[in-house]
Structure 1
Amino acid sequence: MIFRRISWWLSGLIAAVVLSPIAVLCALGLGADLDFGGSLPRILGNTLALAALTMVGAVLLGVPLALVTRYASLPGQRFWVALLCAPLAVPSYLGAFAFFAAFGPGGEMTALTGIATPSVQGLAGATLVMTLYTFPFVLLSTRAALAGLDASVVDAARTLGMSLPMALLRVVLPRARNGIAAGALLVALYTLSDFGTPAIMRLDTFTRVIYVEYNAFGLGQAALLSLQLLGLVALVLLLEARTRTPRERPGRPLSLHLSPAVKVLSLLAAVAIGLAALALPVAVFTLWLLRDGFTGFDPSYLLNSVYASLLAAAGTVLLALPVALAASAGRSGRLFERIAYLGFGLPGIVLGTALVYIGLQLEFLYQTLALLVIAYMIRFLPLAVGAVRAPLARNGRDLSGAARSLGASPLEAFRRVSLPLSLPGIVAGAALVFLEAMRELPATLLLRPTGFETVGTYLWRVYDAGYFGRGAVPGLLLMLVSGLAVMLMIAGEERLAHRSTR
C-alpha cells in the first residue's frame, strides 16, 4: 500500500512538472504586447495553409498507396511497405535542408547538370517537404483501418454493377474514413509543431516567428505566440481523440487483381518517393562529404549529443516507472498518465520558450545541461510511459498480486515481478527517447548551454551561416540515427507479431 502511494505521489509530481511550462506561458502571455505590426493574420494564415495543404498532399499520397499495399499482391511487398514508411523516421528538417541546397539558382542540381531548377522556398517548398515526410502517417493509419474490412461487401457491390474503382471509392474508403482522418490529423499535428522545415524554407509560421522573437529578446511575445500555437495543437488533439476506427467482424480478406500497368505505376510512385525523401538527402550530404570532407566538424559535437541523449533516456525511463505503476493501479493514476502525455503535444519551440523563462527565475538551472535534459524528459516521456505501461497492463498486476498473496512485500513484488516484466519496455522506451533526443532541434537551440554544440545545432549553424558543405557529417549522422529508429520500430513490430502468434 505504501509503495503504491509513493508511485501515486511521484506520478502526481511528474504531472505537475509537465503542466508547469503551460502555466508559465499563460503567465508570460498575460503581460505581453498584443501588437505584432499587423503580421499576426499572415503568420496564422501561413501556419494554417501549410497544415491544410500538407494534410491534402498526405491523403492524396497515402490513401492510394495504402489500398495498393494492403489489397494488391506486389513483388517484394514487405520491401515496398518499409520503403514507403521510412520517410516517417527522418527529421523533416534534413529533407528541407537537402531540397533547399539542391534546387534553385546556384543549387547543387544546377551545378551538376547545368539546368536551371526552380526554387523550393516558401509555402510550396515547405508543403512539398512536409508531405514527403508525413504521408506515412496516413498510409499506416489507412492500412490499419483497411485490414479488417470484409470482401463480401465489395463483392455485393460488384454484383450490382458497380465498377471496382467506384466500389473502392463508395464502399471501401467510407468505412476507413476514420482511419484516414486520424492519419491526416497526425499530419496536421506534426506540421503545426515543426520548426526546422518552415525556418529553412523561410516561411513565417508560428514556430519560426517564435524563434525570431526569442532571439530578439521578446520573450513575452514569444510566449503569446506559443499560446496561440498551443491552441491550434489542442484543437487537433481534441479532434484526434474523437476519431476512432470502428471495428468490424473479420471476414474474407479483400484482394485486388491489378493490371500490370497499374502495378508498374504504383511501384514507380514508390520509387519516386524513395528517391525524393531518402536518396536525395543522402546524395546531397554524400556529395558535400566527398567535396569538403570533415571540415569544421568536431567529434565532441557527437559526444555531446550522445551524452545529453543518454542522460535524457535514463531519466525518462526512471520517471516513466512510477507513472506506469500508478496508471495500472487506479483511476487517479490514469489521469496523471494522461497529463504526462501532454508533453508530446508541446512543440519543442514552445517548450523551450517556457523553460527559458523558468531558467531565468532559477539561476542555478539557466543555460545548464540539466535544463536541456529536463526538456527532453518532458517532451519524450510519453514514449517511455507507453513502452513501460504495455507489459504491466498485460499481466504485471495479476502476477504482482499473486506474489503479494504468497507473502512478498510490495517492494519485493516490484523488484522480482513488476520490474523484470517491464524490462523489455524500459529498454525499448530508453532507446526511443535516446533516438528522438538526438534528433530534437528547436528545444536544443533554445536551451543548450553556451558552447555546448550538438550534431543538430551544428547542422543548423552551418545552414544559418551558408556553409552548406559543412553539413555533410551531421546530416549523415542524423540519417544514420533515423535508420536505427526504423530498425527499432520494425524489430518491435516483429517481436509483437511473434508473441501474438505464440
Structure 2
Amino acid sequence: MSARSIQAVNPAVAFAALGLLVVVAVPFAFILLQAIFPELGRGSLAAPFSRLADTLGDVRLIRMTGNTILLGLGVVALSALIGVPLAVARALFRVPGAMLWDLLMLVPFMIPPYIATLGWIMTLQPRGYVHQLFGFNLAPFLLSVWGIIFVMTLNTFPVIYFAVSRTVEAIGSRYADVGRVFGASAWRAFWRITLPLATPGLAASLLLVFAMAIEEYGTPAALGRRAGFDVLVTGIDLRVSDWPIDLPGAAILSLVLVGLSFGAFLIQRWILTRRSYQTTTGKPQTIDKRPLGRWTLPVVLGFALVAMLATAVPLLAILATALSRTISGGLAVSNLGLDNFLAIFTDGVGALRALGNSLSLGVAAALFTGLLGALSAYAVVKSTFRGRNLLDVLTILPNALPGIVVAVGLILAWNQPWLPVTPYNTALILLLAYCCILLPQPVRYATAAFHQVGDNLEAAARVFGATPMTAFRRILLPLILPTLLASMLLVFAVATRELVASIIVAPVGMQTISTYIWRQFEQGSVGLGMAMAFVTILITTIFPLIVLSLLGKRGGLL
C-alpha cells in the first residue's frame, strides 16, 4: 500500500477508531477492570480478583444464571414452535392473505416488549379485561415462569418467522421434489432436505431470539419479581440501583451475561461451519408454491390466532387502558374518554418534555450511529491498514453486550472521581448508551452496501485529485445512503423507546418516553402511561414509514 493511499484512509480510520473507542471499548474495558479491581471506583487497584470467588459462588448468582438460561431456552423453544410452522406454510404454500399476515407479524416489532407486557398485565390480572369480559382470572399463569416465557415469545417469534420464511422461500420445494422422486415421503423430504438447507437462517434467528430473551429487562422486571423469578438482568439492576450499591458485583454479573451471549454466538458458528448449506441459486421459487387444499382453514386459523395474541390483544389493551378515565371503572362506556391523551398534550405531568427528550435523543443517535457506522464499515471493508480487524471486532462487540451491561459500563467509565469532565448525569450519557447498543445496525447495513461498491470508483476520484474524505463524501456515501438511511430509521425507532439504559443512566430530573411510561405504571397512573405508550407506537411506526415513502417517491430508496 502506497504512502498516498495510507494517507488517504487515515481521516476515516481515525474518526472510526476514536468513535468506537469512546462508544464501545471504554465501557466494556471498565466492566473488566471493575470486576478485577473492586476498589477501582476509589481510584485504587488494590485487592485484585478479591470479589470473584464470593460473587461467582453465591447461590443467588447460580439461581439467576440458571433462570436466565431457562428463560432464554424456553423463549427459543416456544418461538420456534410458533414461528417455524407458520414460516414454512408462508414460504411453500399459497396462504390466503399472505401479505396481510406478514404485516400483522411485523407489528410486534413496533410494540416495545415492556409496553406489550404492561398490556398483558392489564388483560390478565385480577379484574383485568379477560376477567371482566369472560369471568375468569389468568393472573396465576401470567405470574409464572411459563407466563413470562409466553409474553416474551409473542414479541420475539417474528424474528424466526421472517428469517425462516425467507430462507425456505429461497430454497423452494424443488430439492424436496427430487427426494420425493426417489421415494421419500413429503414429511421425510422436508425434514431431511428442506429444513437442513434452511439451517443458516434458522440458527441465526434462534441465536437472536436467545440473545433478546436473556437481555430483556422490562418483562422480567414487571413479572419476574412478582413471581420470584430473578434473572441476571434484574440482579444487575438491583446491584446498581438499590443501596448499598455493589458495582464490582454488577460488573461480574455483567460479564456472566456477556459470556452467555458470546457462547450463543459460538454455538451458531459451530453449527454453520460443520457442513455446507449452499444451493445452486438463491432466487425465491414463488412458482413452486402449492395450494394448501384441506389444510387451508387450519393454517388460516393458526395465523389468525397468533396475530390476535401477538398484535391485537396488546394493542387493544393499551388503547382501552389509555381511554379509561379510571382503572377501577373498567370497560364501561361511561368510563371511556380522551382525558389521558389531553393530559399528555397539555404537558401537565411532563409528558411532552419526555416525548421531546426521546425524539431528540433518537434523532441524535440515528445521525451519530449512521456516520460512525458508515466510516467504520468503510475502514473495515475498503481499507487495508493493519488494525482494521480490531475495528471489526469493536463493531461486532455490541452484539454481545446487552443494554444493561452497556449501562453498567458507562456508569463505571464516566463516574470516576479523577475525571475532570464527564458526561455522567447529563443527556450525553444516554446518547452514548443508545449509540453503543444500536451501532451494529448501521454497521451491518453499511458493510453490506460497501461490499457491493467496486474499488474503481474511489480510485478514479483519487486519480483526479480528490482527497479521501471528498471521495467518501461525494461518491461512496451517496451510493450507500439509501441503505444507511433505512438502518438509521431503525435506530431512531428503537432509541426513542429504549428502557433499561434509560432507567439506569438517565440524568436526575430527566425523563424519556420509556421512563415516563414505566414510572406512571409504578405510581398507579396506568392510563397516562398507556396513553403515552400508544402515542409512542404511532410515532415510531408512522414516522419511519413516511420518510421511506418520501424517499421512495424521490428515487432515493429502492
Aligned-pair CA distance for 1:281 = 1.8
Residue identity opposite 1:23 in structure 2: A
Structure 1 residues 138-188: Cα deviation after superposition (integer angstroms, max 9, x where no partner): 222222331333634323433455432343233322332333222111110
Query: Which residue of 2 is the match for residue 125 of structure 1?
Result: 147
Q: Which is worse superposed, 444-453 or 111-120?
A: 111-120
1:181 aligns with 2:203: yes
The aligned residue for residue 41 of structure 1 is: 62
Does residue 283 (structure 1) correspond to residue 316 (structure 2)? The answer is: yes
TM-score of the pair, normalised by structure 2: 0.82
Gaps of at least 5 residues in structure 2 are 39-50, 326-338, 344-348
Range that drifts further, 98-107 or 159-168: 159-168
Matched residue, 1:439:
497
Q: Distance in 1 between matches of 2:77 and 2:156?
A: 11
Matches within 5 A, 1:1-12: 1=5, 2-12=7-17
Q: For residues 492 and 312 of structure 1, what CA distance do their matches in structure 2 show?
A: 21
Q: Using the TM superposition, name which of 197-206 and 473-482 deviates more.
A: 473-482
Query: Superposed, which structure 2 residues align to 1:65-464 within 5 Å?
Result: 65-119=86-140, 120-149=142-171, 151-202=173-224, 203-216=229-242, 217-244=245-272, 246-250=277-281, 254-260=288-294, 262-292=295-325, 293-294=339-340, 295=343, 296=349, 298-327=351-380, 328-330=382-384, 332-361=387-416, 362=419, 364-395=422-453, 397-464=455-522
For residues 465 and 105 of structure 1, what CA distance do their matches in structure 2 show?
18
The separation in 2 between residues aligned to 1:324 and 1:125, in whole angstroms, is 41
Distance 1:45 1:356, change over 3 A: same
What is the letter of the counterpart of residue 108 of structure 1? Y
Letter in 2 for 1:329: S
Contact 1:462–1:470 (CA under 8 A) maintained in structure 2: yes
* 1:201 CA displacement: 1.2
Cα distance in 2 for residues equivalent to 1:306 and 1:425: 22
Q: Tell me if the contact between 2:11 and 2:468 (Cα under 8 Å) persists in the aligned partners.
A: no
Change (3 A) 1:344 1:131: same
% identical equivalent positions:
28
Deviates more, 1:293-302 or 1:127-136: 293-302
Distance 2:541 2:9 in 1: 39
* Mapped contact 2:148–2:223 kept (Cα < 8 A): yes
CA RMSD of aligned residues (A): 2.8
Contact 1:297–1:473 under 8 Å retained in 2: no
Structure 1 counterpart of 2:157, one-letter code: F
| 1:328-366 CA-partner distances (Å, limit 9, x unpaired) | 222633541331221233111111011112221146322
Amino acid at match of 2:236: I
| Per-residue deviation, residues 295-319 of structure 1 (Å, max 9, x unmatched) | 5462111111111222222222232
Unmatched tracts of structure 1, length 5 or more: none
Following superposition, the deviation at residue 73 of structure 1 comes to 0.7
Equivalent residue number for residue 83 of structure 2: 62
Query: For residues 488 and 256 of structure 1, do their structure 2 counterparts lie closer, same or farther at Cα, with a shift above 3 Å needed?
Result: farther
SS across alignment from 2:260? helix
Compared with structure 1, are the counterparts of its residues 475 and 160 closer, same or farther at alpha carbon in structure 2 (3 Å cutoff)? same
Whether the aligned pair in 2 keeps the contact of 1:316 and 1:430 (CA below 8 Å) is yes
Aligned to 2:331: none
Rounded Cα–Cα distance in structure 2 between residues aligned with 1:392 and 1:159: 43
Is the 8 Å Cα contact of residues 94 and 290 (structure 2) preserved in structure 1?
Answer: yes
Distance in 1 separating the partners of 2:269 and 2:512: 35
Q: Secondary structure at the match of 1:246?
A: coil
Tell me, what secondary structure is at the counterpart of 1:39?
helix
The one-letter code of the counterpart of 1:21 is P
TM-score of the pair, normalised by structure 1: 0.91
CA distance in 2, matches of 1:489, 1:191: 30
How far did residue 106 of structure 1 move? Answer: 2.9
Task: Kindly indicate whether the alpha-carbon contact (under 8 Å) linking 1:86 and 1:486 is maintained by their aligned counterparts in 2.
Answer: no
Question: What secondary structure sits across from 2:496 in the alignment?
Answer: helix
Relative to 1, partners in 2 of residues 1:441 and 1:400: Cα closer, same or farther, differing over 3 Å?
same
In the alignment, is the contact (CA less than 8 A) between 1:154 and 1:172 conserved in 2? yes
Q: Look up the equivalent residue of 2:470 and give its one-letter code.
A: E
> CA–CA distance in 1 between the matches of 2:531 and 2:504?
22
Number of aligned residue pairs: give it.
Answer: 498
